[in-house]
Amino acid sequence: MTKPLQILGIVGSLRSRSLNKTLMLRAQSLAPSGLSIQVHDIADLPMFNQDLETPAFPDSVQRLHAAVRAADGILLAVPEYNHAPTAVLKNTLDWMSRPAGRHTAIGKPVAMIGTATGMAGTLRAQAALRPTLHVLGMFPLSGADCTIPHSGQHFDAEGELLGDSADLALGRTLDAFHQWIVRLQPRG
């Protein structure tokens, strides 16, 4: 039996009842056979500061680098605030970019999911992250990212995702991401 591909899930929100966190947890449960999603907590990452790189990276950054290194792909839950990705998510990507030119995210496939109250979902935030992902040498999934608009229609009062079109969209993204990772893997 083939070992499942290991996906590192990163939620770009620190809020305990974040709908994007709920979406990531739903992605864990909907992951197709052959994918295993492990969510990495980024709450303890310091704000990026090159002074913190020496003599060694902070422990939380070292844990992030180890998780990225071990992953076959990265799934980002991208909240959108003011038509942009969150500072905490950009901060995580900045730490992932270190050390410059030798960081662990180079060559990693990446996909994005997200939900927001507006009619565009997290489309603008996801689009804003693409240049950063390219600069990091990552391979973003194209044309199949999941952005769920009007989050109030897809989550109940307790913040639980209601199955329906959101599940279908999330499932399509996960299937496409699985195929993308397999396609990018070196043939041996």
Give the chain's length: 188
Quote the tokens at residue 177: 């991401």
Question: What pTM, to 2 d.p., does this model score?
Answer: 0.94
Domains in the chain: how many in total? 1
Quote the tokens at residue 122: 């997290």
Say yes or no to pLDDT of 154 above 60: yes
Instruction: Report pLDDT for 107.
Output: 94
| pLDDT bracket for residue 188 (50, 70, 90) | low
CATH number for the domain spanning 135: value is 3.40.50.360
Q: Identify the CA nearest to 116 among candidates 126, 107, 106.
A: 126
Look up the domain containing 141 and give its range.
Answer: 5-184
Say yes or no to pLDDT of 142 above 60: yes
Q: From CA 10, how far away is CA 159, in angstroms rounded?
A: 19
Quote the tokens at residue 78: 């991208």
CA quadruple 70, 108, 131, 147: dihedral sign: negative
Share of the chain above pLDDT 70, in %: 97
Cα angle for residues 32, 143, 135 (degrees, 5° grid):
100
